[in-house]
Chains A and B, each alone.
Chain A
Amino acid sequence: MADEVLRVEGLHKHYGPLHVLRGIDLTVRRGEAVVILGASGSGKSTLLRCLNFLEMPGAGRIHLEGRLVGREARDGRIRYPNRELSALRMRVGMVFQQFNLFPHMTAERNVMIGPMKLRGLSEAEARRVAAANLEKVGILEKARSYPAQLSGGQQQRVAIARALAMEPSMMLFDEVTSALDPELVGEVLLAMRQLREDGMTMLIVTHELGFAYNVADRVVFMEHGVIHEEGTPQQVLLNPQRPRTRDFLRSHTLFRLPEQMHDDPPGPFALTTREQG
């Protein structure tokens, strides 16, 4: 299908004897935001890292924008030439839990370096691209700061801008708010929702259930390296069918504020209030 950005078929991944991904099938359409939930160790990060080839996947196929990634050899296994992977990574942006900004470059340089060295932009063009993307995540005024001079939330937004500057056809987010102080989580989630509204295709691993409920088109629950349950946010988060999904959601909502406290004013990502989008 033409509007499929990503199609994963039967993806497996081993770490030595550890079978981490046991046959993942997943499709992401253009402009869709898919949230992946799952317990620690269920293989969420591994899946995302395989999709960007930071880890080499085992068996299975990955199609990006309708084309198979890698070349199929005679024995049916897929080879991934380095040159192709570098080009692919430019089309798939990734944002990490630990930001992974380059500490020896200013925020602006962090965003500029990829477009300059890989897309062949001139210094001036790259600076314009950087400004546009830093603006988009609301942090243009920090362009000249070094990562160490920024708060976690600001660093993470620079990291998002760095990925955006490569003009990827989709973005991967791996628990991008998990390393942040609670009061900084909101600014990053807001930037991500803005992206969603601009039509970016996104695959998001997060523990922020409110965000998943409000922003995702689809929620996927992973367990032991397979997709255990999948559906709309309402289905998976409010009416989970499988016991493991229910346990997971219960443990994530053990301690909540009483409902009325959400009423005034309504929190942007409260689980109980679906905003109009």
Chain B
Amino acid sequence: MAYEWDFAAVFRHSDLLLEGAANTFRLAGSALLIALPLGLAVAMLRLARIPVLSWLLAITTDIFRTAPSIVLIYWFFFAFPILAGVDFAGHTAVTLALGLQTGAYMAEVFRGGIISVDRGQWQAATALGMGSATRMRTIILPQAVRRMIPIFFTRITELYKATSLAAAISYAEIVQMANRAASETFRPMETFTIVALFFFTTIFCVSRLVRAIERRVAVPE
């Protein structure tokens, strides 16, 4: 017997999904707000090669990168508040978990981009008489940033997808809202098809945009 798809039932509950989508964006945004400055700071500190600190930062970023995102989310939701004696909502827990993890990834992206610039470039800039700040700003960063673009957006995409894991602690992002919509409509297949398309379309469009940007700033190598 062929299954009869019925998307109309889902669209009657589109308010749930829209609210979920808004929360998904909010979550990704607030995690990025932590991740970007954190990643930049850690990258700079590690590049400064401060003896013990660099080593500690390396271990910490590695730990955050190897733990599964969903385990971090559980930990920050169930364990961290008791340990720290604070009380916060699901949103904060997920933001912390994904923000810190993405920060660790971003630190590697920034650091990797900067050290990928050929040593000859540093020497040539120094030979021209540039100070370290000018050298960084005019010679190293422009090359590093160009090279970082693809992996930078890969990390953002992975973060965006990881926000779906907030559903595991019943935070009202789009997957959780889809769960709720599905139990009201009894149309889980349609509902999750729409959620899948939601993620696919947003990521697909952004990745096209990024590719266009990449082409704009590309220099022949």
Q: Do chains A and B touch in the complex (CB under 8 A)?
A: no
Q: B residues near A, CB below 8 A?
A: none
Q: A residues near B, CB below 8 A?
A: none
